[in-house]
Chain A
Amino acid sequence: MVATDKQPEYKVLGTRPIRPDGVDKVTGRAQYGADVRLPGMVYGTVLRSPHAHARIKSIDTSKAEKLPGVLAVITGANMPIAESKDVEAGEEVANYRDDSNRVMAHDKAGFKGQPVAAVAALDMNTALEAAKLIAVDYEVLRPAINVDEAMASDAPIILEYLVGDHLGEDVPNTNIAKHARHIFGDVDAGFKEASVVVEREFQLSTVHQGYIEPQNATAFWNNDGQLTIWTSTQGAFWVRTSVAGILMVPTSHIKVVPMEIGGGFGGKIGVYLEPLAALLSKKCGRPVKMQMDRKSVFEATGPAPAGKVKVKVGVDAKGKITAATADVRYEAGAFPGASIGPAAGCIFAPYKVENTYIDTYDVVVNKSKSAAYRAPGAPQVAFAMESLVDEIAEKLGMDPLEFRLLNASQEGDRRADGPKFPRIGNIEVLQAAQASPHWQSKLEHNPSNGKLRGRGIASGFWFNGGMKSSVNINVTTDGTVTLVEGSTDIGGSRASISMQAAEVLGLRMEDVHAYVADTNSVGYNDVTGGSRTTNTSGLAAYNAAQKVVTTMTARAAKLWDVKVEELQFEDGAFSSKSDPELKLTFKELATKLDQTGGPVGETGSAVGVSGAGGFGTHIVDVEVDPETGKVDVLRYTSVQDAGKAIHPSYVEGQMQGGAAQGIGWALNEEYVMSGDGAMENATFLDYRMPTAYDLPMIEAIIVEVPNPFHPFGVRGVGETPIVPALAAVANAVHDATGARFPQLPIKPGRILESLAAKNGS
């Protein structure tokens, strides 16, 4: 840990207790969505479009409905026409009409795998057989499966009702849902001052979050109109809002029970099965359980957008960046909403640049709608910019880390999308990377085994989300507390939230019993995501704990018959400032609550402040086999500013997990698409994610530059870890082979081609 400010002495923060939900998870007792079992439960499945782009002329469900064991069949006709209303949804802006079409096609299929019908039956086999009996009459249309095809003048229009926002003008009949622009300063003047100008275009394929648990949902629509949904989600309250909007029922009629979640990374914010399970349940009067199969997860959930990023950067003779431009085009999928906004905020974030010009395009294509994937929109542009910076540093003969230090953004500098940075840790992270054993070690570029070794470095940035959280703390008579919260625990947040409450209350983490509750049992909580949970749900817990202290201080005053102002709470005990005889620990006072006014429970709410984000710098050593093109990752170091690491093990876990995903994105992962819009590698065998055998230990160096907007200095850490990884790996492969790789993934075939071209064969 590298702490920059003098830290207060904390009792609990910074320690590594065992997480409260740990025993259930290592014994298999923890209940995930697919583990739900209810009396009378039946099973649902989805029939999906085999075509990437087709008009649905008719659907005949009669044969399916007659199959013994089938209880309900639904199509788009069973769904209301939802409002076309934009709503903020965790990490995205969602539109109810788009979402309604997305979860069940109405008159058109916009991607292969889009649901066109759903069946509920007594057992799964019957449901699957019934789905085969549903006859759909399609008029197959020409698809547009990437940005170029969708932006071409003769492109088929995918969403006929879409009105594009092109630089503020409404434009119908287009696949470009949004064209935004960000300009600061004067890039023409900036480029004139440059002595070196480099421009490159980069290309990325669609990749998936790769969570191991497929989407699931169980729904029961009761006779009293109350709908209960059990689901693995990053945000139970968003599920409630979304289902209410799609099915046009009041939110007060819906209760969402968040089950444990087997990974999300942004991909389990949007609903997929929930509205369908609900409608099936309404029709048959039974609880309906649905689960996606792995192929459907690949084809029909929300991967990260593929795209093209063109970057141009100018530097003066001293190596200072004078101007930078970018053209970013992302595949939104069949409905608008690729993360082009964050792309603009992140692309040049590690650098002080006064002259910037960025065009971004959100382009509808015939693929499943993209969703957030860990720092949505940032890894792609960071790949481009950090590769370009590496090229420039090389041209100038400058050490790439020194180049970054020379140009490093700091407090008061402006992001390319406008806001000034508050206190940030970019420079501290770079310095820690420079001082790291990895960077200080020598790499043998041409080892005796005949392979090629190289080292790469890259930086990256992500914001930390704020949004809203709410918790309840109740004091138990034995002096422990229960903490009821609404943040699904994906990565240890029960621990990090409890620890913040424990710190305030002078308790151990083990004395704070955290419980993730349903939407009827706790106040509103935005999603677990956006690098906001430890920060903002922690802040809510902090606020609740402060209120508990205030209330209990008043109780102590009552007990001792003194004025509240005479008392203090320190080191877990209430005492009189003037009379040392008057002292009770939290536990002791807790046993006397019934004598002083009854139970003590407080609600804490927080609206997190988003503004200070987290920087990361990654260093990677690779070894390339010149005969096979295989890349082995020999050594990896991730350096990141966490503000304050509440539970360092789980901060390290985020850093290591993000690095692994980034390595996969850089070297192997991609959607292999056929010309007619089908994914050809929709299994874990062929969509190749890193295994334990592909990776080395990943060193995580935590830097702590406190976040000015949080009482403990916490910065969000969940998303930054993936951002630098793509370019760090690409730059390392360049250092090993001499070739540049502007297209991801850097798979063995591409490496062999590059080596062959270099060697003139």
Chain B
Amino acid sequence: MVQDATVKTHVKTTINGELVEFLVEPYRSLLEALRDVLGMTGTKEGCNDGNCGACTVNLDGRIVDSCLVLAAEVNGKQLNTIEGMATPEGLHPLQQTFLEEAALQCGICTPGFLVAAKALLEKEPHPSEDSIRFWLAGNLCRCTGYDKIVRAVQKAAETPSKGSK
């Protein structure tokens, strides 16, 4: 029998528009809660210290590295992750343009980039190349050299919004 010395925290939050409740140790990060407690493995771990952006999620309208947020902190907040970008009707324009422009190779950084780029286009619907690169500087990609990622964001910016989340 395992002696459980930790009292877990009860967290109630909205993830991708759905009410979600879970128990988690107070010392665990949001990244760990998403992946290990909730089984939402779309958000990835690259460094676990806030330097690569692979774990990017959208918390109350702001993109954050979920490895730097405690799971308990999202109680009562609105969280949007990669799992919420597509709908049964179709992919988000960014997801579509990433595919068309071949903006991914191994794909491990892709969820982080998509969440980050979505937040950019919501704030600035027609960003310049410089704005795109600056905004995405917190997301590391080792495969693509970023060229096709930037082009995919530019292309999505030109796509009329279909009203997806």
A residues touching B (Cβ–Cβ < 8 Å)? 16, 18-19, 21-23, 25-32, 34-35, 37, 68-69, 122, 125, 209-214, 260-265, 291, 293-294, 490-492, 649-650, 652-653, 656-661, 683-685, 689-695, 697-698
Contact = CB atoms under 8 A, between A and B. Distances in A.
Contacts of A652: 102, 148
Given A26-B95, A27-B86, A653 B142 contact: no
Interface in B3-45: 3, 25, 27, 35, 39, 41-45
Given A28-B111, A32-B44, A491-B143, 16 more contacts: A18-B99, A23-B95, A25-B110, A26-B107, A32-B41, A212-B44, A212-B52, A212-B109, A260-B106, A264-B106, A656-B145, A660-B144, A683-B47, A684-B47, A695-B133, A697-B150
Interface centre among B42, B91, B110, B146 (most CB of A within 10 A): B146
Given A68-B3, A261-B106, A693 B137 contact: yes
Given A28-B42, A657-B145, A491 B140 contact: no
Contacts of B99: 18-19, 22-23, 26
The 4 closest A-B pairs by CB, nearest first: A28-B42, A262-B108, A660-B145, A25-B107
B85 interface: yes
Contacts of B41: 28, 31-32, 34-35, 37
B105 A27 contact: no
B141 interface: yes
A731 B101 CA distance: 32
B83 interface: yes
B108 A32 contact: yes
A12 to B, nearest CB: 16
Given A213-B44, A213-B108, A262-B106, A693 B134 contact: yes
Nearest to A297: B47
B142 A209 contact: yes
Interface centre among B1, B39, B44, B129 (most CB of A within 10 A): B44
A36 to B, nearest CB: 9
17 contacts: A18-B100, A22-B99, A23-B99, A25-B104, A34-B41, A68-B1, A125-B27, A213-B46, A214-B45, A263-B106, A263-B142, A492-B105, A649-B101, A649-B102, A656-B144, A657-B143, A693-B137
B128 interface: no
B132 interface: yes
A612 B158 CA distance: 43
A293 B143 contact: no
Interface centre among B86, B144, B146, B147 (most CB of A within 10 A): B147
A115 B151 CA distance: 43
B2 A69 contact: yes
B140 A490 contact: no
B136 A692 contact: yes
A294 B140 CA distance: 14
Contact of A23 (B42, B49, B91, B105): B91
Contacts of B146: 656, 660, 690-692, 695
Contacts, number: 189
Interface centre among B51, B136, B145 (most CB of A within 10 A): B145
Interface of B: 1-3, 25, 27, 35, 39, 41-49, 51-52, 54, 81-83, 85-86, 91, 95, 98-102, 104-111, 114, 129, 132-134, 136-151
B147 A34 contact: no
Nearest to A37: B39
B82 A22 contact: no
A28 B83 contact: yes
Given A31-B41, A294-B46, A26 B52 contact: no
Contacts of A657: 105, 142-145
Nearest to B135: A692
A695 B46 contact: no
A323 B35 CA distance: 59
A19 B108 contact: no
Contact of A68 (B2, B82, B109): B2
Contacts of A35: 35, 41
Nearest to A656: B145
A125 B36 CA distance: 13
A34 B41 CA distance: 8
Contact of B51 (A214, A684, A694): A684
B48 A293 contact: yes
Contacts of B39: 37
Contacts of B101: 649
B25 A122 contact: no
B18 to A, nearest CB: 16
Contacts of B51: 683-685
Nearest to B50: A685
Contacts of B100: 18
A300 to B, nearest CB: 15
Contacts of B49: 294, 683-685
A661 B142 contact: yes
B132 A212 contact: no
A265 B114 CA distance: 23
Interface centre among B107, B132, B140, B151 (most CB of A within 10 A): B107
A743 to B, nearest CB: 24
Contacts of A658: 145
A490 to B, nearest CB: 5
Interface centre among B42, B52, B91, B102 (most CB of A within 10 A): B102
Contacts of B106: 211-213, 260-264, 490-491
Given A125-B25, A689-B142, A27 B150 contact: no
A656 B140 CA distance: 15
Contacts of A685: 49, 51
Interface centre among A32, A68, A653 (most CB of B within 10 A): A653
Interface centre among A28, A211, A657 (most CB of B within 10 A): A28
Contacts of A649: 101-102, 148
A697 B145 CA distance: 8
Given A653-B105, A692-B139, A29 B144 contact: no
Given A25-B104, A492-B102, A212 B147 contact: no
A490 B105 contact: yes
B102 A650 contact: yes
Contacts of A30: 107
Contacts of A68: 1-3
Contacts of A697: 129, 147, 150-151
A114 B134 CA distance: 38
Contacts of A656: 144-148
Nearest to B108: A262
Nearest to A211: B142
Nearest to A660: B145
Given A26-B110, A263-B108, A692-B149, A212 B2 contact: no
A653 B100 CA distance: 13
Contacts of B44: 32, 34, 212-213, 262
Given A30-B107, A68-B2, A294-B46, A212 B114 contact: no
A491 B83 CA distance: 23
Nearest to A264: B106
A75 B99 CA distance: 46
Contacts of A32: 41, 44, 108
Contacts of A650: 102, 105
Given A212-B52, A649-B102, A27 B107 contact: no
Contacts of A27: 42, 82-83, 85-86, 91, 95
A212 B81 CA distance: 19
Contact of B47 (A122, A209, A294, A695): A294
B102 A695 contact: no
B25 to A, nearest CB: 7
Nearest to B105: A491
Nearest to A488: B106
